[in-house]
Amino acid sequence: MNDLVTHAASLSLLAKSVAAVIGILTIYVLFCLLERTLPHYFSKADARYRARKLIVLCGYVTILLFLAILFEDRLGRLSFAIGIAGAGLVVALQDVIASIAGAFSIGLSSLYGVGDRVQIGDTRGDVIDIGLLRTSLMETGNWVNGDQYNGRIVRIPNSAVLKATVFNYSQGFRFIWDEIKVVLSTASDTQFARETFLRLANEAVGDYLVEAKASWKVITDNNRTANPLLEPTVALIVNAGGLEFSISYVVDYTKRTVMKDRLFSAIVGEIAKSNGKLQWNSATTTVILNQPAPADCHPVPTQNSVATRNRFGAPSR
């Protein structure tokens, strides 16, 4: 190792520059080959992703060490110039530096990881990559209803996590509270409706309750928080002459749309076979057009009707 450093120090600046270019290209090609071949030996997608990230990081470190060894004898002379240039780069590349700081913040504070569903600012999606400068999300929602992918990949600067609010749906408690609203007429049987909706909700989310309770226990063990009611609830309010039922329940954050479809389908079926005990609320407006006048009533012609008769040859005064 000492012989290598001594030999590198004896080279001229031109030779060192040529050696630096050749060395960087060689290291780049070598680690590109490793990045393409080594991850295939891992069966899980998460392990392959981490292997690729580790190879890229090792490549950067290797290049820096190679340059440090090659130019070791000139680093002391260039320290002042590097300091001046570094101050200018800090000003010019402040956004880049903020993104790098955001990347360290994401890693050190475990804000999110690959595979988590997050919302950063107004953008929501699943994290598919965390780079040194940007986080890539497979976007959900927007013009697509529910939590379905819309096909766009959004790349957000890592500096955004230092300024914007970050919501993580995946860490700790993987479930969220959701609700649907059903509006029935006032002629419906209120108690029967409440019992029916509660039964349907328990049947739909029963598989989640055991896992949700175990997941929430982990939250309470590590944080100081109250124990909420995880079982489905039904609340009633009277709104605009109708009975509005709000059905609340816990659901896996990836199954919101599926659960709403299951619940509404079950509710529609129950209302259809309730024999009138449950009725949809519908606001109807009756409009009467061209109502005939009574026989003993002589209508008074208006100016428009007189003009019409004149046009067809009727006498006018």
DSSP 233-288: EEEEEEETTEEEEEEEEEEETT-HHHHHHHHHHHHHHHHHTSTTSS-B--------
144 within 8 A of 151, measured Cβ to Cβ? no
Residue 123 has pLDDT above 80, yes or no: yes
231 within 8 A of 202, measured Cβ to Cβ? yes
Average pLDDT over residues 279-283: 81
pLDDT value for 174: 79
pLDDT value for 313: 46
- Torsion angles phi and psi, residue 257, rounded to 5: -65, -40
Q: Give CA–CA dist 140/117, Å, rounded.
A: 9
Q: Which residues of 102-133 are buried (b: 16+ CB within 10 A; e: fewer)?
A: bbeebeeeebbebebbbbbeebbbbbeebeee
pLDDT band at 79, cuts 50/70/90?
Answer: low
E strand intervals along the chain: 117-120, 123-130, 134-140, 149-157, 166-168, 175-184, 233-239, 242-252
Query: What is the percent of the chain with per-residue pLDDT over 90, rounded to a whole number?
Result: 26
pLDDT band at 285, cuts 50/70/90?
Answer: very low
pLDDT value for 137: 94
pLDDT value for 303: 45
pLDDT in tens, 24-44: 898 888 888 888 888 777 777
Domains of the chain plus CATH, in order, are 2-92 (no CATH), 109-168 (2.30.30.60), 175-272 (3.30.70.100)
pLDDT value for 307: 41
263 within 8 A of 180, measured Cβ to Cβ? yes
256 φψ region: left (φ > 0), alpha (ψ -120 to 50), beta (else) = alpha
pLDDT value for 100: 83
Average pLDDT over residues 285-291: 46
Global pTM? Answer: 0.62
3-state secondary structure of 8: helix
Strand order from edge to edge, sheet including 175-184: 175-184, 242-252, 233-239
DSSP lists the bridge partners of residue 248 as 179, 233
Who's near 261: CB < 8 A, 6+ residues apart? none
Q: Give CA–CA dist 233/47, Å, rounded.
A: 41
Q: Which of 152, 83, 97 is nearest to 123 (CA)?
A: 152
Q: Give CA–CA dist 126/170, Å, rounded.
A: 10
pLDDT band at 191, cuts 50/70/90?
Answer: very high
pLDDT value for 292: 55
Residue 48 has pLDDT above 90, yes or no: no
Residue 145 has pLDDT above 80, yes or no: no
pLDDT value for 272: 93
Residue 110 has pLDDT above 70, yes or no: yes
One-letter amino acid of 74? R
Residue 217 has pLDDT above 80, yes or no: no
